[in-house]
Structure 1
Amino acid sequence: MTNDAEWCIAVSLSGTVTFENLESGEPRHMKQVPESKILELWRLLAEGDIATLEQEPWLPGYA
């Protein structure tokens, strides 16, 4: 899912979530994220709440 400001949250089948801005890079990720948390992250992205998303325990880079 990508919002108008080019922020993107991608999810793999294994539950790895990647969060990044497609224009400026700096990808971050979390592993084994439960489905309920993934939905919450997508909701925050849809609402444009990037500040709250950035407070999550992201690890640097791609998994």
Structure 2
Amino acid sequence: MYDVMGGTVDEPDPETMRRVLDGLAQADDEHPDVSLTHESGWCLSVFGGGLLLWENPDEEAVAPGEMRNVGREEILRLFGLLAAGDISSIEALPWQR
């Protein structure tokens, strides 16, 4: 997981995910997001205002998806799914591509 300043946290627990997400309050143009990446390459990036980006840079055949106005608890739920490797549940959501 990457915090808003680019610091890394390996295998974050739910409390650490909450703390990293809280760090978005300090986001700026140079450091606009926090993210969680699974070992499979899938990544959820969260930007201020609830913009969520879902992508796997290693999968060129799959376009990145986005959702807007995603609430904090839903973001944390999705982080939990990704940390558990439940890619199919996240992929099944209505991503705008």
TM-score (structure 1 length as normaliser): 0.90
Percentage identity across paired residues of the two chains: 37
Matching residue of 1:12: 47
Q: Which runs of 5+ in 1 are unaligned?
A: none
- Runs of 4+ residues over 2 Å off in structure 1: none
- Corresponding position: 1:57 with 2:79: no
Structure 2 gaps of 5+ residues are: 1-35
Q: TM-score, structure 2 length as denominator?
A: 0.60
Q: Give the count of matched residue pairs.
A: 60
Higher RCO structure, 1 or 2 (CA under 8 Å, sep 6+): 1
Give the root-mean-square deviation of aligned CA atoms.
Answer: 0.8
Shift of 1:20: 0.6
More strand by share: 1
Rounded to whole Å, the distance in 2 between the matches of 1:5 and 1:57 is: 21
